[in-house]
């Protein structure tokens, strides 16, 4: 996708990446442009550049995560930053230490940047107010997952010319999805149209205020879509009465090979991990128009771009 250089800043005018609400289209385009260049590094024989030598990144994951944690760790490593890793299990959090104390102890080890995943919405915002480190939100409760949205729009941009007028449908549990929330922000900022689709129990009331269209009929969503993004059904929510059964959910909201045949240009995305046979039929996961693995690769490139653009300097440009 060609970016509009006139609207793209030459550097990121933000200290943290907490969510995308205050990121302009130009800011997002700068991240995507930077990520594309880092993406090409990942295709080289030597997949490492010395860019962030001397920077230390703390990966603080207070919530289970596999791919996001691996992706951030790899991104920091590819930039030659040093990383320290923290997981809630087996840590002093179990002994009653507060989030602020845990963070301050880790920062006392002289970390420059903190990547944080936490089950409480706003945890990264809170830490940004009480510590000096640069904060990157790797998912906070149902609130935001900005790097997931950025990697999603980067992946879309590889297949389209412009976001203007692009139609994207997000299918599933919108209420509990930080991915959906951040994607809506990114896509609306870039000029795309967004349709949300799922059972009534999974769509928050009055979410149309975000400038999205809502439907409870998958066919209606697919008819208007260039790209469809299925969200992972959290199997533990089966007991909450949000939907009768996984089979019924699949029958009403699962994307099947018949859907793919009926919409020959439709691209399918999924933030992973996929419940095969629930959100997507088994064959759809492996379909040539399913671009799920590109999302994973682009995740590393986007996180490299975010770490690079937010990495703190020691002095101002004016002092150079």
Partner 1 sequence: MEPDDRIKAQLMTERDLGRTLDRMAQQIIELTDPDVEEAGDAFALVGMQTRGVYLARRLADRIRTQEDIDLPVGVLDVTMYRDDVRLRLNQPQIRETRIPVDLTGRHVVLVDDVAYTGRTARSALDALMDLGRPASVRFLVIVDRGHRELPIASDIVGRRVPTLPGEEVRVRLREIDDREGVWLVETPHPRGQSTETD
In the region spanning residues 251 to 310, those forming contacts with partner 1, defined by CB under 8 A, are 308-309
Among 4, 22, 37, 164, binds partner 1 (CB under 8 A): 37
67 annotated to bind ligand = yes
Q: Which of 6, 50, 129, 241 binds partner 1 (CB under 8 A)?
A: 50
* Interface with partner 1 (CB under 8 A), residue from 34, 147, 155, 215: 34
3 state SS of 283: helix
Please tell me whether 145 is known to bind a ligand. yes
Strand order in the sheet with 56-61: 82-87, 56-61, 113-118, 134-140
Q: Least distance (Å) from partner 1 to the CB of residue 17? A: 14
Q: Please report, for residues 131, 156, 178, 181, the alpha-carbon distance to residue 187 in angstroms, rounded to integers and kept in the order given.
A: 31, 10, 14, 10
Which residues make Cβ contacts (< 8 Å) with residue 162, sequence separation at least 6? 1, 191
CB burial of residue 151 (10 Å; 0-12, 13-18, 19+): buried
Taking CB under 8 A as the criterion, which residues in 54-73 touch partner 1?
Answer: 54-55
Q: Which of 1, 25, 42, 49 binds partner 1 (CB under 8 A)?
A: 49
Contact 63, 117 (CB under 8 A): yes
Residue 208 lies near partner 1 (rule: CB under 8 A)? no
Structure tokens at 135: 């904060």
User: Does 17 participate in binding partner 1 (rule CB under 8 A)?
Assistant: no
Q: CB of residue 157 vs partner 1: minimum separation in angstroms?
A: 15
Contact with partner 1 (CB under 8 A): which of 2, 44, 98, 241? Answer: 44
- The phi and psi torsions of 39 (rounded to 5 degrees) equal -60, -35
Query: Minimum distance between the CB of residue 181 and partner 1, rounded to whole angstroms?
Result: 27
Distance of CA 59 to the CA centre of its chain: 16
The residues binding partner 1 (CB under 8 A) are 10-12, 30, 33-34, 37-38, 40-41, 44, 46, 48-55, 308-309, 311, 313-318, 320
């Amino acid at each position: 996708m060609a970016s509009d250089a006139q609207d793209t800043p030459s550097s990121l005018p933000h200290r943290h990446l907490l969510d995308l609400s205050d990121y302009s289209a130009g800011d997002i385009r700068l991240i995507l442009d930077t990520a594309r260049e880092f993406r090409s590094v990942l295709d080289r024989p030597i997949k490492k550049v010395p860019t962030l030598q001397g920077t230390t990144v703390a990966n603080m994951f207070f919530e289970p995560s596999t791919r996001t944690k691996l992706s951030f760790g790899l991104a920091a490593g590819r930039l030659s930053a040093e990383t320290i890793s923290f997981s809630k299990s087996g840590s002093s959090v179990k002994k009653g230490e507060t989030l602020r104390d845990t963070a301050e102890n880790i920062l006392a080890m002289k970390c420059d940047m903190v990547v944080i995943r936490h089950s409480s919405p706003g945890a990264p915002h809170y830490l940004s107010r009480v510590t000096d480190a640069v904060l990157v939100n790797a998912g906070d409760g149902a609130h935001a997952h900005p790097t997931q949205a950025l990697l999603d729009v980067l992946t879309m941009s590889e297949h389209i010319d412009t976001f203007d007028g692009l139609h994207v449908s997000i299918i599933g549990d919108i209420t509990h999805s930080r991915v959906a929330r951040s994607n809506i922000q990114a896509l609306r900022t870039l000029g795309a149209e967004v349709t949300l689709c799922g059972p009534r129990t999974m769509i928050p009331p009055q979410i149309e205020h975000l400038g999205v269209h809502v439907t409870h009929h998958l066919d209606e969503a697919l008819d208007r879509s260039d790209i469809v993004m299925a969200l992972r059904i959290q199997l533990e929510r089966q007991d909450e009465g949000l939907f009768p059964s996984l089979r019924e959910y699949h029958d009403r909201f699962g994307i099947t090979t018949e859907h793919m045949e009926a919409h020959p240009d439709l691209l399918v995305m999924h933030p992973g991990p996929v419940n095969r046979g629930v959100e997507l039929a088994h064959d759809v996961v492996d379909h040539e128009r399913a671009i799920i693995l590109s999302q994973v690769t682009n995740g590393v490139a986007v996180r490299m771009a975010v770490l690079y653009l937010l990495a703190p300097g020691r002095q101002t440009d004016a002092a150079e």
